[in-house]
Amino acid sequence: YLTISGVILISLSIVSISLIQADAYSLIHRLFMLGLVIFVFIAWCALIWQFYKALLAKQNQIEILMGLKLALSSLIDMKDSYTEGHSNRVRNLARNFSEFLRLPSEEVENISVAGELHDIGKIGIPDSILKKTEKINGQEYEIIKNHPKLGAESIRSIHGFEAIAEIILHHHEKYDGTGYPDRLKGDEIPLGSRVLSIVDAYDAMFHGRAYRKPYTNEQILEIIHQEGDKQFDPLLSKEFLDFINQENIKLQIDPVCGMRLGEKQKNFNCRYIGQNYFFCSQICAQKFEESPEKFVLGSESM
């Protein structure tokens, strides 16, 4: 749109200059040039209108996508209230770490969304296992191991979520090939899954589980260091340790959906406890206003 608009504007300028300098030409020539100016101007206005409609359609598409993603995320929280906020924290941490790695923007977005939805397959796990306060046994663990497949299958049919489903499917694979569901090894594991594996484990250890107390940050970093080349990608493990050790890693993101916001995307905002929060869409702003305390806590990824 912008390229075509530029061409039209240049054409309009050339024709206008020709019209101004057309005193020496006949009346018919000047009328023709005037008509051409009007035609080019109308074409430019029509293009601008089409561009505006495309922006509105894109915004509507974002609203629909965010609504769907938030609905899925809410289902996860309703299934297991003990880990409420885990999905948001993993999403934000995954985005921050992916950007720290300087991954392509599309890859960053896919990893971020996968981080938010990575546990959606747990909806298919019985509450008696998922909410058990004692350590689970071998048979129960085999049932829990189904959740990456269940999660991937549940969203694979959504247009545009194919790569996200693949990341979710393999986020419990281990670098040494002892993970699940497919026992992939090393670089056979998708990069997004290797990134998500680390950030998911970090948050799970930092905040604990119903059957286990949280670890200290020092303990977690030591575990991640020791598990390099075993559970985690060794290169990513080193990068993650550097990432965590850096202070004040703050990226401007939507606290509800996790979308990275540029200056031109801060169209929606609201104020909470003396601070402004920005959102990519109206639906995210409304969701935040309903329960801001949930998303303010969830947005603190470290």
Residue the block writes with tokens 């009007």: 38
Active site residues: 122
**Cα distances (angstroms) measured from residue 259 to each of 176, 251, 265, 280, 293:** 32, 10, 10, 7, 19
The C-alpha atoms of residue 111 and residue 91 are separated, in whole angstroms, by: 8
Question: CA–CA separation, 67 vs 280, rounded Å?
Answer: 12
**Residue 78 CA to chain centroid, in angstroms?**
21
DSSP symbol at 186: G
Angle at the Cα of 196 (from 194 to 199), degrees rounded to 5? 115
Q: How far apart are CA 262 and CA 100, in angstroms?
A: 17
- The torsion defined by the Cα of 36, 41, 47 and 48, in degrees rounded to 10, comes to 170
d(CA 42, CA 200): 54
Lookup: tokens for 2 = 């912008």
Helix, strand, or coil (residue 279):
strand
